[in-house]
Amino acid sequence: MENNRKILLEAKNLVKEFYIGGTKKNPQVVHAVSNVDLQIYEGETLALVGESGCGKSTLGRTLIRLLEPTSGEVDFDGQNIVGMSEGQFAGLRRQMQIIFQDPYASLNPRMSVKQIIAEPLVTYGMKNKTELEKQVKALMKEVGIAEEFYNRYPHQFSGGQRQRIGIARAIALRPRLIICDEPVSALDVSIQSQVLNLLKDLQEKYGLTYLFISHDLSVVKFIADRVCVMFLGSVCEIGDTDSLYEKPLHPYTKLLMNAIPKADPRLRNEEKELLSGEIPSPVNPPSGCRFHTRCPYAKEICRQQVPEGKTVGERKVFCHFPLG
Amino acid sequence: MNESVVLDVKNLKSHFFTAKGEVPAVDGVSIQVPAGKIIGIVGESGCGKSMTAMSIMGLLRYPGRVVDGTITLDGRDITHLKPKELSQVRGNELSMIFQEPMTSLNPVYPVGVQVREAILLHQKTTKAEAKQRVLDIFQAVGIPEPEKRYYNYPHQLSGGLRQRVMIGMAMVCRPKVMIADEPTTALDVTIEAQILRLMKRLCAEQGTSIILITHNMGVVAEICDYVYVMYAGKVMEQAETFELFEHTKHPYTQGLLKSIPRLDEKADRLYTIEGVVPNLLHLPKGCSFCTRCDQAQERCFTEKPGLYAAADGHGVRCLKYESGVKMDGE
Amino acid sequence: MAGRYEENNNVQNPSALQAEAMGPDYAGGIHGMEAEDIAAQIGESETWLDQIKTMVRQNKLAAFSALVILVIILAAIFAPLVAPYDHLEQSLTDRLTHPCAAHWLGTDELGRDVLSRIIFGARVSLTIGLVPTLISMVIGTVLGLCAGYYGGKVDFVIMRLADIMLAFPSLLLAMVVMYTMGGGLINIFIALSLVNWAGTARIVRSQTLSLKEIEFVEAARSIGVKKWTIMFRHILPNCLPSLIVLFTLNIPSAILSEASLSFLGIGAQPPSASWGLMVVRGKKYLFSEPWLSIAPSVAIMIVVMAFNFLGDGLRDVLDPYLKEQ
């Protein structure tokens, strides 16, 4: 992989905390994203993988300022967008869009397909009715929704079709970066593959950059160029998909892969090593390495020191004792 | 499949009576559950897999109704039981766990008490004895510190622990059959793997049969002994798990397996089953899958296929296999 | 404690009970929503207009109430045509006649036909039911949207103001306004609007709070849609069903407030025919000519009940928050 590719978005020491109660002196804070450094290269698909509560969705939303970060920096195309005024940010906002997980909640039930897809265009000043209609129909065709459904409402579509409408809305402004927040995890298997193929086609056609958030490692294997594994708000390991799947460096990555049920009974292994225990609370995360409470290889140092990032070839791993 | 069959569902038909017409949500499903085995029912949403489970449990309500077929549990016909008799069977010989363990537990009682009540309702024991059995089952389903957890309220437990409590409650009366409707869909993969391992172990130790309903082919491959693949209210293919995955016969099952991204190979594009699930009110005249099938021939659009035996214990609802013996009595 | 638990669940295993409680539609979450999927497949999903049609079919009482309200509205609009006499026409020879063929509900102390006055009085009562309710709901909706969407200080100020309004006995507050500004229709409008907005604001705020977390609102934000557009295009339409219900339930309380104010002598002023006023004027003759008070009271009762039944019926089919339970 070439090192001189253009960085489209870069997070530096990004922190997002949610205040959930407690007193002024002793506040209760959810540490959703803790000191994350991340680069997304132009034109690639970076997958963000982890279990629920690992902060992957929060991170995705913070990167495009749907949530304001608590501290840290996000550079989009070289400009720090954190703390930018609304007016300054308006021009950049249209370059980053998001596709949501739940196709039922992501479309306003009281708006027709036409209105939903036209909204981004109208917001950025397209007034001409015929031009608008032409564009919306072109977008519908692009994502595989028949033109005659132009005036229908979301409840008249199936989950897969709704997800396509959400995709049409996201690409309407020809953005450069799209955050895909679990876009296929609510869909049936046969529909899931249709939507994944569509996302790949669109990426090729428009040179899109995806941040693909998912808990499903097999989907990630298909779509991602690079993978970032997160646990409890911090990054465990980043690397290109093939080598990461072949040889996980972080114990968590390895155990996560063990846990996936594989659609082949010959791969059954009753003895395989499973993660024990539950995910610790993000309100009181464990000291040191956040994974140490579940890690079968944890030693004293893991309880005390937060691991520094170690570079192994093209990959980066945050572990005191990387595997391999 | 000639081991002792605990639950025998024959030609079950459950219809929904709606303003637009009668919807055949479950259309002639036959399922046999042998003792101590895990049976998988797999299919996409709307295929009737959950409706089949609700019908077996007698939980189908207006506008849905079982219109035909028989359900035999351990030699006793339970298709048309009165509500009171049914509630004796439910939770005792036949139990069920659901996808979302939070809504399945009453938030205002400690979980231990709720499980104890399940025992007291169905069996004559003292409260102290019942409590001891709860603690035993908590231990068995892998709940750490059972004494402490006994007095916890549902919201104090994590999703994984709640699902363990639900499994404990479902197993505590040693039912003959437990139906698990997407038991791990709401859970994280690492927790899912724990729960699946637990179910497999309980099934082996206690001799309870499990009907596992899921959309996830991986889950099926992982723990099921025998699999039914459903589509549009009908069983499309049924076989023992290894047979099904190694010698997949039905074009639908083949399509499903091909469209799952695999971990062990890198593909540029995924195989897709084109189109959407057909409207159950206007199913094609022939095979219900013909409109999406890439191997469909002219006949498929006009003739309804039966369920033919393609190999020993391997049924396929596809005209390609009509030389085989018909397995259903249509 | 365990004993009480048994009482509550005397027949079934809790897990079976839980399943029962979930009812026929229950089939799990996103992957398992078979009943809904089936409904979607056959095009059974409903818009709220469809739901109102369902209500008309299923809830006969609500449908009948709607009919009654319609008849009363028509009678009020065409009062000069419908009423047998003019409501101001006095006839000293016909004072206090008992109900008879010429005067179905008798006449009052000035010889005016009671039935005609009730029909004309419907104009006053309905206007007072509709106009201040509408005004107060518009105010309440805008304030509720702002409070819910902006949060923080805006929310704090608006909601504390609403708390203060709700802490006062509303009739007392209306009386204070009426005493300082004098009687008359316009002042009743102002008084009742000022009193009633707080309830609407609370409901709209709570709905806004939950709606703004839903992903389609997030999607609009990610596009860069302006705040006011989000509030009025995305959030408000989704509050509409609850607002319709609230509207039908607020009307009767406004009508009752007017009647009370008029009864206390600070509402509608004579000689206008307000039902509240008629009740108070008939008070003197309660034992000799009781119909003078009873007839307008019954009219108030019918209108109030009709609106309440209609509101309940609409709530059953429209209100998503109630439906979930």
Give the domain CATH number at C65. 1.10.3720.10
Examine the pLDDT at C125 and tell me if it is beyond 50: yes
| pLDDT single digits (tens) B306-317 | 999 988 889 999
Please, which pLDDT band fits residue A4 given cuts at 50, 70 and 90? Answer: low
Give the phi and the psi of residue B261 in degrees, each rounded to 5: -65, 140
What is the pLDDT confidence band of residue B92, given thresholds at 50, 70 and 90? Answer: confident
The residues pairing with B18 across neighbouring beta strands, listed in sequence order, are: B21
What gap in Å lies between CA B151 and CA B111, rounded to an integer? 7
Half-sphere CA count of A273, side-chain side, radius 13 A: 11
The 10s digit of each residue's pLDDT in A285-306 is: 898 999 999 898 999 999 999 9
pLDDT in tens, A204-225: 999 999 999 998 888 999 999 9
3 state SS of C1: coil
pLDDT mean across residues, chain B: 88
Tell me, yes or no, whether B82 lies in a domain.
yes
C94 pLDDT more than 80: no
Best B50, B163, B188 member to test A by mutation, with max A CBs in 10 Å, is B188
* C159 & C297 share domain: yes
pLDDT, tens only, B147-196: 999 999 988 888 888 888 988 888 888 899 999 999 888 888 888 888 89
Mean pLDDT of all residues in A76-80: 92
> C-alpha distances in angstroms, A188 versus A38, A206, B100, B322, C191?
31, 27, 18, 29, 57
Q: How many CB pairs under 8 A join B and C?
A: 127
Kindly state whether residues C176 and C311 are assigned to the same domain: yes
Does one domain contain both C24 and C71? no
Cβ–Cβ gap A259/B241 under 8 Å: no
Report the percent of chain B where pLDDT is more than 90: 43
Q: Which position has the higher pLDDT, C268 or A106?
A: A106
At A230-286, the pLDDT tens digits run 999 999 999 999 999 999 999 999 999 888 888 888 888 877 888 877 788 888 889
- Please judge whether C19 and B16 are an interchain contact, meaning their C-beta atoms are less than 8 angstroms apart: no
pLDDT of residue C23: 30
Q: Which residues of C are less than 8 Å from A88 in CB distance? A: none
pLDDT at C321: 45
Residues C112, C21 share a domain: no
Of B23, B82, B38, the closest CA to residue B279 belongs to B23
> Which of A81, A102, A110, A115 should be substituted to probe chain C, the one whose Cβ sees the most C Cβ atoms within 10 Å?
A110
- Give the integer Cα–Cα distance in Å for C151 and C154: 6
Alpha-helical (H) ranges within chain C are: 2-8, 14-22, 34-41, 48-58, 60-77, 79-82, 114-150, 152-167, 170-181, 185-211, 215-223, 227-229, 236-263, 275-282, 291-318, 320-323
Q: Are A73 and A60 in contact (CB under 8 A)?
A: no
- Structure confidence at residue A143 as a pLDDT band (50, 70, 90): very high
Residues of chain A neighbouring B44 (CB-CB closer than 8 A)? 188-191
**What torsion do the CA atoms of C276, C282, C283, C287 make, to the nearest 10 degrees?**
-140
Q: What is the pLDDT of residue C31?
A: 31
Where in the sequence is the domain holding C7, given as residue range(s)? Answer: 2-41
pLDDT of residue B329: 57
Residues C22 and C109 in one domain: no
Write out chain A in H/E/C secondary structure.
Answer: CCCCCCEEEEEEEEEEEEEEEECCCCEEEEEEEEEEEEEEECCCEEEEECCCCCCHHHHHHHHCCCCCCCEEEEEECCEECCCCCHHHHHHHHCCEEEECCCCCCCCCCCCCHHHHHHHHHHHCCCCCHHHHHHHHHHHHHHHCCCHHHCCCCHHHCCHHHHHHHHHHHHHCCCCCEEEEECCCCCCCHHHHHHHHHHHHHHHHHHCCEEEEEECCHHHHHHHCCEEEEEECCEEEEEEEHHHHHHCCCCHHHHHHHHHCCCCCHHHCCCCCCCCCCCCCCCCCCCCCCCCCCCCCCCCHHHHHCCCCCEEECCEEECCCCCCC
A63 vs C55, residue with greater confidence: A63
For position C121, what pLDDT does the model report?
Answer: 87
| C 29-68: CB under 8 A from A | 30-31, 37, 40-41, 43, 45-47
Residues A324/A310, Cβ–Cβ less than 8 Å: no
> Does residue A298 or residue C53 have the better pLDDT?
A298
Tell me if C221 and A110 make a contact (CB, 8 A cut-off): no
Q: Is the ipTM of this complex over 0.95?
A: no
Between the alpha carbon of residue A166 and those of residues A139, B192, B222, the distances in Å are 11, 30, 34
Share of chain A above pLDDT 70, in %: 99
What residues in chain A have their Cβ under 8 A from chain C's Cβ atoms?
Answer: 61, 64, 66, 90, 93-94, 96-98, 100-102, 104-111, 119-120, 123-124, 153, 155-156, 158-159, 166, 169, 173, 186, 188
* Whole-number Å distance between alpha carbons of B253 and B314: 13
CA B279 to each of CA A125, A153, B292, C38, C315: distance values in angstroms, whole numbers, following the listed order:
40, 18, 13, 8, 31
- Is residue C210 within 8 Å of C149, Cβ to Cβ? no
CA distance A96 to chain C (A): 8
Kindly list the distances between the CA atom of residue B223 and the CA atoms of B141, B259, B313, C7, C296, in Å, as whole numbers in the listed order.
17, 21, 18, 40, 75
**Interface with A, mutate which of B263, B264, B274 (most A CBs under 10 A):** B263
Is C46 exposed, middle or buried (CB count within 10 Å of its CB: 0-12, 13-18, 19+)? middle
Touching chains, B (3+ CB pairs < 8 A): A, C
Please write the tens of the pLDDT for every residue from B264-289.
Answer: 777 788 898 887 778 888 888 899 99
**Nearest chain A alpha carbon to B144:** A277
* Domain around B147: 5-231
Angular region, C257: left φ>0, alpha ψ -120 to 50, beta rest: alpha
Rounded to whole angstroms, the Cα distance separating A66 from A58 reads: 9
| pLDDT for residue C46 | 57
Whether residue B155 lies inside any domain: the answer is yes
Minimum distance, in Å, between the CA of residue B55 and any CA atom of chain A: 23
- Go through C53-84 and write b for each residue having 16 or more CB atoms within 10 A of its CB, e for each that does not: eebeeebeebbebbebbeebeebbeebeeebe
C22: confidence class by pLDDT, cuts 50, 70, 90: very low
Residues of A in contact with B185 (CB under 8 A): none
Closest-CA distance, C322 to chain A, in angstroms, reads 18
Provide the pLDDT confidence category of residue A188 given band limits of 50, 70 and 90. confident
Helix (H/G/I), strand (E/B), else coil: B12:
strand
Residue C152 tokens read as 């923080």
Contact list in A for residue C241 (CB cut-off 8 A) is: none
**Total number of domains constituting chain B:** 1
CB contact under 8 A, B90 and C41: no
Q: Would you tell me how many other CB atoms lie within 10 Å of the CB of residue C322?
A: 12
Q: Enumerate the β-bridge partners of residue B16.
A: B23, B64
Which residue in chain A has the smallest CA separation from C241? A110
User: Using CB atoms and an 8 Å cut-off, which of residues 153-212 of chain A contact chain B?
Assistant: 158-161, 188-194, 196-197, 200
With a cut of 70, say whether residue C19 has pLDDT above it: no
User: Residue B1 above 50 pLDDT?
Assistant: no
Amino acid occupying residue B176:
K
Average pLDDT, chain C: 78
Cβ-based contacts of C13 with chain B (< 8 Å)? 87, 90-92, 95, 117-118, 121-122
The torsion angles phi and psi of A74, rounded to 5 degrees, stand at -125, 115
- Residue C41: per-residue pLDDT: 47
A319, A244, A245, A238: which is closest to A41 by C-alpha? Answer: A238
CATH number of residue B86's parent domain = 3.40.50.300
Q: How far is CA B261 from the centre of its chain?
A: 24
Domain A7-95+173-276 has CATH 3.40.50.300: yes
Q: Is B219's Cβ below 8 Å from some Cβ in A?
A: yes
C156 and C180 in a single domain? The answer is: yes
In a domain, B149, yes or no: yes
Question: Is position B296 within any domain?
Answer: no
What is the edge-to-edge ordering of all strands in the sheet holding A209-214?
A96-99, A177-181, A209-214, A45-49, A226-231, A234-240, A315-317, A310-312
Contact B263/A262, CB-based, under 8 Å?
yes
> Could you tell me what percent of chain A has a pLDDT over 90?
62
C30 and C92 both lie in a single domain: no
Name every residue in C having a CB less than 8 A away from some CB of B: 2, 5-6, 9, 11-16, 18-20, 22-24, 26-29, 31-35, 37-39, 41-44
B245 and A263: CB-CB below 8 Å?
yes
Mutation target to probe the B interface, by most B beta carbons within 10 A, among A45, A145, A156, A189 is: A189
Going by C-alpha positions, the residue among A257, C311, C201, A272 that lies closest to residue B262 is: A257
- Between C43, C225, C240, which is nearest A119 by CB? C225
Residue with tokens 């939950």: C210
CB contact under 8 A, A265 and B257: no
Question: Among B226, B260, B271, B292, which would you mutate to test the A interface (most chain A Cβ atoms within 10 Å of its Cβ)?
Answer: B260
d(CA B138, CA B144): 8
Phi and psi, residue B291, nearest 5°:
-70, -20
C17 pLDDT above the threshold of 50: no
Angle between helices B127-140 and B159-171 (to 10 degrees): 130
User: What's the mean pLDDT in C142-166?
Assistant: 93
Q: Which two tokens stand for residue B135?
A: 């603690």
The mean pLDDT value for B292-317 works out to 91
Read off the pLDDT of each residue in A198-203 and give the average, rounded to a whole number.
95
The answer to whether C197 and C243 are in contact (CB under 8 A) is no
Give dist(CA B7, CA B96) in Å, integer: 14
